[in-house]
A and B are shown apart, each in its own frame.
Chain A
Amino acid sequence: MIGLTWLVPVLPLVAYLVLLFTGKRMSEVAITTISVLAVLIGFVISITVVSSVAGHGPYAPVVYNWLTFGPTTITMGYQVTNLNALMLLVVTLVSTLVFLFSKSYMHGDERFSRFYQYLNLFVFSMLGLVITSNLLELYIFWELVGVCSYLLVGFWYFKPEAAVAAKKAFIVTRVGDVGLFIGVILLYLGTGSFDFTTIFAHLHHFSSMQSALGAMGRDAITHLMTVQTWVTISALLVFVGAVGKSAQFPLHVWLPDAMEGPTPVSALIHAATMVAAGVYLVARMFPLFQASAAASETVAIIGGVTAIFAASIGLTQRDIKRVIAYSTVSQLGYMMLAMGVGAYVSGMFHLMTHAFFKALLFLAAGSVIHAIDTQDLFEMGGLRKYMPITHATFLAGALALSGIPPFAGFWSKDDILTAAFDSGHYVLYAFGLIAAFFTAVYIFRVYFLTFSGTYKGSKHPHEGGIAMTLPLIVLGFLATFAGFINTPFAPLLGNFLQPNGPVGYDPPANWGLMAISAITGLLGIWVAYSLYSGGKRADAFAKRMGILYQLSFHKWYIDELYAAIIVLPVVTIADGLQFVDRYIVDGAVRLLGEVGYAGGVSLKYSADGQIQTYGLISVFGIAIVLIVALLIGGVL
């Protein structure tokens, strides 16, 4: 079955093409069936791939020549490693469930088939990204994923907010992509290859191709930097790409806005899969980061800061999806923190559990939104009675997110905190712990505001159909139990991801730290309960927090800051330059024309139409020429 791995991404592509050409004439059921089948078969293949990889270890890449590129040949193909196989599994599983969920969520939408087209295209790109065999191919799928996200965020294009959010998502991630783009080029120039293995083999000396370029006297890279700086700069640039995609501080601004897209999209792309691509990238390029302490440290710091920063914003948002979005940013920060401190397995573990419980939370939120048509937390309440399945699964997700044992999030988050502590990053550990506290507070704030108390809306809420509840139940199950695949008692995932001995840093279990984080989570839940369950204490508390509340509510004014220091200057400079272009550069051109014209116009008056004047001037002219000629000839 390992030979069929290529089918996993290709099936959604086929589904995309089928829908592209015939989707308009198909029924919603047919569209959903085709799409779900495409990813479901992929999921089945992924299971066999994982089991086969678990037995055999990674497989050699299968590649085809794509383009002769200077002295090298670019190949395209796919590769199955343990990491890839795990990602395949996670992505296909979540996609299948989200595809199913979307059927009833998008029911009746005018562009139902278009929606599934985009989803299929997205899954194709994401799976391609996951099993890619070289860095350039990764970049290609990386961008494709981004554009699918753009299309899906802007799916309801007629809403101005959605249009703006889509553009913002693309441009902000583009900033990161350019970093990755340059990183890929630098790595290519240093190693002469895009292949992961070749690149990792050359991290301590430039490759021979570099010297070939050097013979041509145009090897600016080796002139400018040493191998170590080159590795660090490349790693940092690659990380910039990850920062953009995984919405890490300071490029996190697009993700909350991206919630303008349909909720299944938020679940699939902006929680479970695409945003995790940044973390996956760092994991895939792990040897590169290992080779540069400075780069790893940066990753850890950005991750830690993002975790606490985003969590602090999540505390006060009114929109249910935005809270979960900030939660995603924060959790991705944890994963980056893990990668930064070298805890490769913990990071991937958290990526996986997070994919399950965050997809669950989003889908549950989607189920709520679908039922009552609002996203404002303060217009909800008391839904426990009306939507028992949604309530139960949301609670499972919230407990997993808060890190309450034995739910999935506990094991993975605790792994990361332990790693941060053990590797001596005490400040980052403290950040992580505080963020964990915030996490519990904000998610249970959502829980209490949504499900407890009394219902404030007018529309009669009800549970969605089987297509909605089934994914919730499956994900609820996973959010509860997925943690057990990598407990300190049985580190199955750790063994799976490290077939050739340990990668990075895998700390031993620390029962004390585990207890602390569990207590922190419970404390957070208690705070949320006392503030938001029933009474009006929340408003008073918010008032007492004063400036801190404002900062959090206004997302630390980062959007305003960017608007003031980046967007405004760029637009102003553009307007200014446009003015310069029109009136100074082009003005100079027109001035030249005008001078010529004015010269002609003024000189024409010397021609008065009097033939005798012309004659006189000619005579004098001839006389002068004659005299000069005679002077030169030496006659005069």
Chain B
Amino acid sequence: MEDVLLLIVVIPLIAGLFVLAMPARSHGVIRAIGLIGALIPACFALAAYLAFDQRQINLQFPFTTTWMSIANAYNSLTLHINLGFGVDGISMPLVMLVGVVSTLTMIRSFKVTERVKSHYFWLLFLTMGMYGVFAASGIFTFFFFLESTLVAGYLLINIWGGEKRHYAATKFLIYRGLASVVLLAGLIGLAYVYASTAQAASNSVFIPNAPNFLTFSISQLLTEAQLIHIPAASQDVLFLVFLLAVLMEEAFVPFHTWLPDTHEQSDTGTNMMIGGALMKIGLYVMLRFAVSMLPLGLAHYATWLAVLGLVSILYGAIVAIASKDWRRLIAFSSISHMGLVLLAIGSMQEIGIQGAVFMLVSSGLLTALLFFTVGAQADRTGTYKIENLGGLSKSLPVISGVMLVAALGSVGLPGLSGFISEFSLFVGGFAAFPTLSALASLSMILAAFYLLWAMQRTTFGPANQALPDMVDADVIEYVPMVILVALVVLLGVFPGVLGDVVHGTAQAIAARIGG
């Protein structure tokens, strides 16, 4: 099991290279390689998930190898940059999420007929990048893979997107690129501040495996976070830098406008990848670095987080009501949901942290499912405009039914994964910010309003005569729908499946920020 994470990250890349080696015409082979290249890592991820030791709070399945060593002639110290992987209770579920979403995306993308070869290559590349981001145990590794997702995402939108794809792709690139730059500054600052503080404290505190120079190892930083005290002023500044990066990365208001455009212009498979997994990176960064390593900064800006979260929650929910395109609606809905996570992180409660991971996973699954079903109906009707649809329950009962499940899940219906996430987040929120949380709870009503209203206009009512004749889901389409619905129900009925994995790490983080 030692190398499992390395395999998970590398296999999609190898499959991608195989895809490149294939003749461009042989679509069947390329699709098969794509599917296998995503399925094998997903199986490995599942194996890792099952083998995950819930009592451990260190990074598990560690793998480290030196990538490059940069000698510094000035002070004769060497900076070791490692390729390192390892997961804990926060990242393990997200790795699993990437496995699920990427595999199902490969299946969905069987429908792509244009430039199949490069489509699959970039999908596999994006898969590798997301695995790498969540599995990384080093700052450099993390950032490397983060940037690779940027490239792949940009190309996927830019080549296979809708009418205004160039505009959307550029926006995606600029926003996320900018976020990466800010994030890089924060990461380097973080490593530097930790190194200098550790250096200063080395006389009084024993730090195991203390490096003699900057360390980029996340587990080392997490250990040091418990031993040394970073000055509050540095924490505040760094936290702000991280916050800014996360606001852009995760599309929080007012840095959100790229997300609706991106989703509106991307094809279904790309939307599943972006909405289902890529959009979890920002808050993962928040939990991994800002929250775990800068507890004083978090305490200082907790109320800010809550307020920013609230703004996103309500703004997203209200604009979603007025959205006329299903994909924009989903985008705003996910902005609203992510705002709730931010609010809960601001609450600094263990339940809030746990709920945050729940919400990331749950909204990943539900967003992927929503995009899948909305895309499936658009394949048939040719439109995403809500006003042009109607009465789809008649012609597409299965797809409409699954769409309803996804919508109800997003609304937070018990029995589906959305409920326990929302509940945990609100418990955390109310413990710290009752008034803000009470305002945030309006979003539960608004969510019911916009999603069910959209459902009513899409699937209920008399069939729209302008729509063509349609056939319901085929066998290939059943696979993603059945798997996603099954997972959503599984998490809803037995949240312990996820909760047991998350709990230990959430507790550890809470202990760090609470004490």
A and B touch in the complex (CB under 8 A): yes
Q: Is B112 an interface residue (CB 8 A)?
A: no
0 or 1 for each of B403-436: is its CB under 8 Å from A? (1 = yes): 0000010010111000110011011001111100
A589 contacts across to B, CB distance below 8 A: 171, 257
0 or 1 for each of A177-221: is its CB under 8 Å from B? (1 = yes): 110011001101100000000000000000000000100101111
CB within 8 A of B441: which of A139, A182, A216?
Answer: A182
Interface of B is mostly: helix
Most chain A CB inside 10 Å of its own CB: which residue of B420, B424, B459, B515: B420
CB within 8 A of A166: which of B254, B449, B460?
Answer: B460
A577 contacts across to B, CB distance below 8 A: 315, 318-319, 322
Q: Is A53 an interface residue (CB 8 A)?
A: no
Nearest neighbor of B314 in chain A, beta-carbon distance? A577
Given contacts A71-B350, A174-B445, contact A167 B420 (CB under 8 A): no
Given contacts A144-B414, A178-B445, contact A189 B431 (CB under 8 A): yes
Q: Is A571 an interface residue (CB 8 A)?
A: yes
Given contacts A220-B432, A221-B430, contact A167 B452 (CB under 8 A): yes
CB within 8 A of B453: which of A160, A167, A174, A216?
Answer: A167
**Alpha-carbon distance A582/B15, docked complex (angstroms):** 40
B164 contacts across to A, CB distance below 8 A: none
Q: Is A573 an interface residue (CB 8 A)?
A: yes
CB distance from A595 to the nearest CB of B (A): 14
B435-460 residues with Cβ-Cβ distance < 8 A to A are 438, 441-442, 444-446, 448-449, 452-453, 455-456, 459-460
- Pick out which of these stretches binds chain B: A4-12, A61-69, A333-341, A509-517: A61-69
Task: Contact check, B462 vs A70: say whether CB atoms are below 8 A apart.
Answer: no
**How big is the A interface, by class?**
35 or more
Task: Contact check, A221 vs B322: say whether CB atoms are below 8 A apart.
Answer: no
**Alpha-carbon distance A56/B315, docked complex (angstroms):** 55
**Alpha-carbon distance A189/B434, docked complex (angstroms):** 11
CB within 8 A of A140: which of B349, B414, B499?
Answer: B414
0 or 1 for each of A143-174: is its CB under 8 Å from B? (1 = yes): 11001001000100111101110110011001
A66 contacts across to B, CB distance below 8 A: 494-496
Nearest neighbor of A572 in chain B, beta-carbon distance? B322
Q: Is A175 an interface residue (CB 8 A)?
A: yes
A140 contacts across to B, CB distance below 8 A: 414-415, 419
Task: Contact check, A578 vs B323: say whether CB atoms are below 8 A apart.
Answer: yes
Q: Is B115 an interface residue (CB 8 A)?
A: no
CB distance from B122 to the nearest CB of A (A): 25
CB distance from A181 to the nearest CB of B (A): 7
Nearest neighbor of A162 in chain B, beta-carbon distance? B460
Task: Contact check, B351 vs A70: say whether CB atoms are below 8 A apart.
Answer: yes
B413 contacts across to A, CB distance below 8 A: 143-144, 147
Task: Contact check, A181 vs B456: say whether CB atoms are below 8 A apart.
Answer: no
CB within 8 A of A573: which of B318, B347, B459?
Answer: B318
Most chain A CB inside 10 Å of its own CB: which residue of B323, B347, B456: B456
CB within 8 A of B444: which of A68, A178, A570?
Answer: A178
Given contacts A160-B462, A181-B444, A586-B257, contact A147 B431 (CB under 8 A): no
Most chain B CB inside 10 Å of its own CB: which residue of A70, A166, A573, A578: A70
Task: Contact check, A174 vs B448: say whether CB atoms are below 8 A apart.
Answer: yes
CB distance from B500 to the nearest CB of A (A): 7
Count how many pairs of residues, one from A and one from B, have CB atoms less than 8 Å apart in the complex. 150
Task: Contact check, A170 vs B427: say whether CB atoms are below 8 A apart.
Answer: no
Q: Is B159 an interface residue (CB 8 A)?
A: no
Task: Contact check, B500 vs A68: say whether CB atoms are below 8 A apart.
Answer: yes
CB distance from A193 to the nearest CB of B (A): 12
A37-83 residues with Cβ-Cβ distance < 8 A to B are 65-71
CB distance from A151 to the nearest CB of B (A): 8
Interface of A is mostly: helix
Q: Is A379 an interface residue (CB 8 A)?
A: no
A559 contacts across to B, CB distance below 8 A: none
CB distance from A20 to the nearest CB of B (A): 11
Task: Contact check, B456 vs A174: say whether CB atoms are below 8 A apart.
Answer: no
A109 contacts across to B, CB distance below 8 A: none
Q: Is B103 an interface residue (CB 8 A)?
A: no
**Alpha-carbon distance A37/B32, docked complex (angstroms):** 48
B253 contacts across to A, CB distance below 8 A: 585
**Alpha-carbon distance A185/B456, docked complex (angstroms):** 31
Task: Contact check, A69 vs B319: say whether CB atoms are below 8 A apart.
Answer: no
CB within 8 A of B438: which of A162, A182, A585?
Answer: A182
Task: Contact check, B391 vs A218: say whether CB atoms are below 8 A apart.
Answer: no
Task: Contact check, A160 vs B461: say whether CB atoms are below 8 A apart.
Answer: yes
A181 contacts across to B, CB distance below 8 A: 423, 426, 441, 444
Q: Is B393 an interface residue (CB 8 A)?
A: yes
**Alpha-carbon distance A586/B315, docked complex (angstroms):** 14
B36-70 residues with Cβ-Cβ distance < 8 A to A are none
Task: Contact check, A220 vs B322: say whether CB atoms are below 8 A apart.
Answer: no
Task: Contact check, B415 vs A144: say whether CB atoms are below 8 A apart.
Answer: yes
**Alpha-carbon distance A69/B419, docked complex (angstroms):** 14
Most chain B CB inside 10 Å of its own CB: which residue of A147, A171, A220, A571: A220
If A141-B414, A589-B171 are given as contacts, then 12 extra A-B residue pairs at C-beta distance below 8 Å, sorted by A number, are A66-B496, A67-B420, A147-B408, A147-B413, A157-B393, A167-B455, A178-B444, A188-B427, A220-B433, A570-B321, A574-B318, A581-B315
Which residues does A use to contact B, with CB under 8 Å? 65-71, 136, 139-141, 143-144, 147, 150, 154, 157-160, 162-164, 166-167, 170-171, 174-175, 177-178, 181-182, 185-186, 188-189, 213, 216, 218-221, 224, 570-571, 573-575, 577-578, 581, 585-586, 589
18 contacts between A and B (CB under 8 A): A68-B500, A69-B424, A143-B419, A147-B408, A150-B452, A158-B394, A163-B460, A167-B453, A167-B455, A171-B449, A174-B444, A178-B441, A185-B423, A189-B427, A570-B446, A574-B319, A574-B321, A586-B257
